[in-house]
């Protein structure tokens, strides 16, 4: 189970049944937030970047340099937010806990800049947390665009992490009552929270995911071994949502995987185009 947790680590209003998940803060989660300083003449909506859970907080700047540079060159005020931090690991607690931290930061950005909304660019676990904030916590009036890269929107079945099992790993973990409290104590609640039967994922999938007034764009890669089943785990099959595979958009390009998708020059160009089309 521990190997799976470590390896598993991005329309109409929410229905009444999509209630926020009550999650005990077994381990206090920290945040790393940038100073909210947007230059005059920036694009009207600050861009809040929510990285995935791969790597550590020390890796974030290098991992996201290509995307941040591309967004800044397009005139955006870019703010990279990291939450749910235990030690040096981002999003290490349940997504519902991390989403509340995102909500607080978005409120701060709007208050400081005077912007009515923000754009969100998110990867993997960060994308799921963004979805949870927008839908379940009711943040959709504060968000203009939500761009997602390799998200586990509907949860991951874990089949790409531990192939060859008679049933998907997510089903095995779901059958262990000790899993949720143990994950919280070990600081891997974020990984458990991205499995297909996790409470946060279930709440997100209760009714339509896409919220009114928010422009959704999702890119997945067929080489993904974390957001599985590929495509099915990530895409939101609802009106107005753009769902694309990297390989279809950029045939013949160098291959990407779950992690490297975020830093491909092709991806950064696509993200900018989605934001400012």
| Res 258 pLDDT > 90 | yes
Mention every residue, 6+ apart, whose C-beta is less than 8 A from residue 276: 43, 74
Pairwise pLDDT comparison (269 vs 176), residue with the higher score: 269
For residue range 118-171, list pLDDT tens digits in order.
999 999 999 999 999 999 999 999 999 999 999 999 988 876 554 544 444 444
For residue range 60-79, list pLDDT tens digits in order.
999 999 999 999 999 999 99
Beta bridge partners of 85: 30
Domains of the chain, each with CATH number or no CATH: 2-8+26-275 (3.40.50.1820)
Which stretches does DSSP call E strand in the chain? Answer: 30-32, 47-50, 78-80, 82-85, 118-123, 143-149, 215-220, 242-245
From residue 101, alpha-carbon distances to 109, 126, 162, 217 in Å are 13, 12, 31, 23
| Res 99 pLDDT > 80 | yes
């Amino acid at each position: 189970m521990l190997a799976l947790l470590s390896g598993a680590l991005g329309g109409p209003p929410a229905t009444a049944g999509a209630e926020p998940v009550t999650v005990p803060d077994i381990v206090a989660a920290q945040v790393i937030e940038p100073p909210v300083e947007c230059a005059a003449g920036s694009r009207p909506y600050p861009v809040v970047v929510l990285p995935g859970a791969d790597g550590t907080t020390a890796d974030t700047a290098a991992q996201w340099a290509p995307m941040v540079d591309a967004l800044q060159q397009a005139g955006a005020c870019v703010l990279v937010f990291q939450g749910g931090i235990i030690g040096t690991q981002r999003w290490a607690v349940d997504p519902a806990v991390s989403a509340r931290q995102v909500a607080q930061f978005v409120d701060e950005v709007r208050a400081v800049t005077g912007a009515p909304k923000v754009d969100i660019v998110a990867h993997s676990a960060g994308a799921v947390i963004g979805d949870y904030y927008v839908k379940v916590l009711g943040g959709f009036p504060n968000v203009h665009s939500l761009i997602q890269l390799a998200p586990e929107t509907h949860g991951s079945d874990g089949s790409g992490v531990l192939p060859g099992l008679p049933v998907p790993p997510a089903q095995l973990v779901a059958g262990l009552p000790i899993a949720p409290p143990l994950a919280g104590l070990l600081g891997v609640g974020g990984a458990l929270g991205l499995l297909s039967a996790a409470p946060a994922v279930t709440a997100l999938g209760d009714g339509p995911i896409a919220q009114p007034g928010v422009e959704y764009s999702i890119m997945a890669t067929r080489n993904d071994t974390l957001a599985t089943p590929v495509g099915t785990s990530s895409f939101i099959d609802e009106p107005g949502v753009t769902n694309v595979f990297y390989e279809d958009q950029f045939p013949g390009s160098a291959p990407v995987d779950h992690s490297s998708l975020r830093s491909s020059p092709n991806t950064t160009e696509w993200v900018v185009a989605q934001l400012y089309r």
